[in-house]
Amino acid sequence: MSAQVTRRALVLGSSVVAATALMSSRSGSAAEPVAPVSVAPSGGGLARLIANENPYGPAASARRAVTEALATAWQYPMGHDQPLKKLIAEREGLTTAHIMLGDGSGEILRIAGLVYGMGGRDVVAARPTFGFLQDYARQLGATVTEVPLDENLKHDLKGLAAAVTGRTGLLYVCNPNNPTGTLVPGAELRPFLKDMAGRTTVLVDEAYLDLWEDWPAHTATERVRAGDPVIVTRTFSKLHGMAGLRVGYALAPPDIIQRLEKHRMTLLGCAGVAAATASYQDLEFQAFSRARLQEGLAITTGALRELKLRHVAEGRGNFVFFDTGGPLADFSAAMRRAGYLVGRPFPPYDSWCRVSMGTVEQMRGFAEALRGYF
């Protein structure tokens, strides 16, 4: 393995190209150019392939909605979220009593950590997985029981079920999992949730699920409609490219929603809700976003196969998880020199790297940087 990237990789990596997405739309929602944000202000001139962001959003329709919402920004936000709740409820076959909006799904995860972890209760989760809920629950005195992923880097459902005891307040399942991107198919997940219904509440984090067209086949919402103690969380940060506007939501039986709402920490601003309402209906932008994501994934996994690097071949996130074969810090430093910010660690997979998808042009350059390094 070479510790230096080639000059070609350096040039390609540091030349961050802002692609312009021109989308035609009968409704006009996506007819305007959507310029990807190729370098975020905090990136120091680097392509940010570290935070699972979507460089193509928000949609043009969402941007217009933000501008229009400013006309009423002088008012406190009261009732402005009802149209979005109704849209979600109609699409999911639920009522607005089943819906909670949050300051990103992160707020809802923290509230769940508070509600179901306080009093020294136990939270069960996989390892590694997204840790917002577990970290917050620990701060409140909860015990977190972590169950290792299986040999295929997937959730060990039997192991998770075995870890649930009478003191378990909540079982957390990130599906698809972050950082591995592995999916528990709906045909496996829904029977599991039904079996767990008499034992504990289960929160299924579907932040990345709708990045793929077949997501309805794998969602846990069916168990919410059945009245099981299941919470499904989703976000507008990924598919919709609105990470900075902070809007997410939960689907759960009304009694659980009421319990969570009592511990709400924020009021959602009018701009974020307006953008989310527009983007939720903008199916053309969503299709565009999925297509660009999958193109970037194909480029990246193609390079990994060519280099014979171990990786999650069919990941369902907007990222790829692969084994660098050596110290992650060395790989991250080399990629930084090439113009790419990568390398957040996910113990116990200390040599593995999760790379988020940037623009298609960025991922072409990153693939060349990989070829220069290995």
318 neighbors 52 (Cβ within 8 angstroms): yes
pTM value > 0.85: yes
How much is the pLDDT for 266? 87
Confidence check: pLDDT of 41 > 80: no
Across-strand partners of 321?
Answer: 354
43 pLDDT band, cuts 50/70/90, is: low
How much is the pLDDT for 77? 86
Statement: 66-281 belongs to CATH 3.40.640.10:
yes
Distance CA 69, CA 199 (A): 44
Three-class secondary structure of residue 77 per DSSP = coil
Per DSSP, the residues of 182-251 read: ----HHHHHHHHHHHTTT-EEEEE-TTGGGSTTGGGT-SHHHHHTT-SEEEEEESSSTT--TTT--EEEE
Confidence check: pLDDT of 26 > 90: no
Look at 7-21, 197-211, 310-324 and tell me which has the smallest mean pLDDT: 7-21
348 neighbors 126 (Cβ within 8 angstroms): no
* Structure tokens belonging to residue 303: 């390079």
Dihedral, 162, 164, 167, 172 alpha carbons, nearest 10: 150
Place domain 7-59+283-373 in its CATH homologous superfamily.
Answer: Aspartate Aminotransferase, domain 1 (3.90.1150.10)
Distance of CA 181 to the CA centre of its chain: 10
β pairing state of 248-251 and 319-323: unpaired
201 neighbors 229 (Cβ within 8 angstroms): yes
**What confidence tens digit (pLDDT) does each residue in 103-143 have?**
999 999 999 999 999 888 999 999 999 999 999 999 999 99
Look at 76-80, 144-148, 349-353 and tell me which has the smallest mean pLDDT: 76-80
39 pLDDT band, cuts 50/70/90, is: very low
* Structure tokens belonging to residue 176: 């698809």
How much is the pLDDT for 47? 96
Look at 33-47, 96-110, 216-230 and tell me which has the smallest mean pLDDT: 33-47
How much is the pLDDT for 44? 62
- Tracing tokens 């932040």 back to the chain, one arrives at 207
Q: Report which of 350, 361, 371, 192 is spatially closest to residue 292, judged by C-alpha positions.
A: 361
Three-class secondary structure of residue 155 per DSSP = coil
Mean pLDDT to the nearest integer, 69-89: 94
Distance CA 195, CA 293 (A): 35
77 neighbors 268 (Cβ within 8 angstroms): yes
Confidence check: pLDDT of 218 > 50: yes
How much is the pLDDT for 42? 46
Confidence check: pLDDT of 32 > 60: no
- Tracing tokens 């069960």 back to the chain, one arrives at 124
Determine what percent of the chain is predicted with pLDDT higher than 90.
Answer: 84
How much is the pLDDT for 21? 35
Domain boundaries, the chain: 7-59+283-373, 66-281
219 pLDDT band, cuts 50/70/90, is: very high
**What confidence tens digit (pLDDT) does each residue in 246-280 have?**
999 999 999 999 999 999 988 899 999 999 999 99
Confidence check: pLDDT of 35 > 60: no
